[in-house]
Amino acid sequence: MAILSKLISSLQCHRISRRSFHYKGKQFPVCARCTGVYLGQIIMILLILVGFRLNLLASILLMVPLFIDGAIQHFKLLESTNPRRLITGLMCGLGAINLYLFIFILILKYF
């Protein structure tokens, strides 16, 4: 299991310790932002399975806070916090999965 989590996290996450959650002295396999994104994606998949869907605009708007928070942090205007990273990641994960579904359905209509 540890090998799998290291493989998944190495694909995209920086795993910076101060930007990650810790539990019982062990660091999560991904940072706080990625934790939120993955949780949001799982939640949205479950919501879609029970019939819940967002419209395209809502999907895009849910993703915007992550990019704003990332840009603010990138340009060193304000250091983000792990709770903010988690929340913006969660919102982005929700929006992204719904956006992927919207695109997938759109592609299916043309083939």
**What pTM, to 2 d.p., does this model score?**
0.82
Structural domain boundaries enclosing 40: 2-110
> Rounded to an integer, what distance in angstroms lies between the CA atom of residue 40 and that of residue 25?
25
pLDDT at position 20: 81
Q: How many domains does the chain have?
A: 1
Calculate the alpha carbon distances from 3 to 10, 17, 18 in Å.
Answer: 10, 18, 22
Write the pLDDT tens digit of every residue in 78-92. 989 999 999 999 999
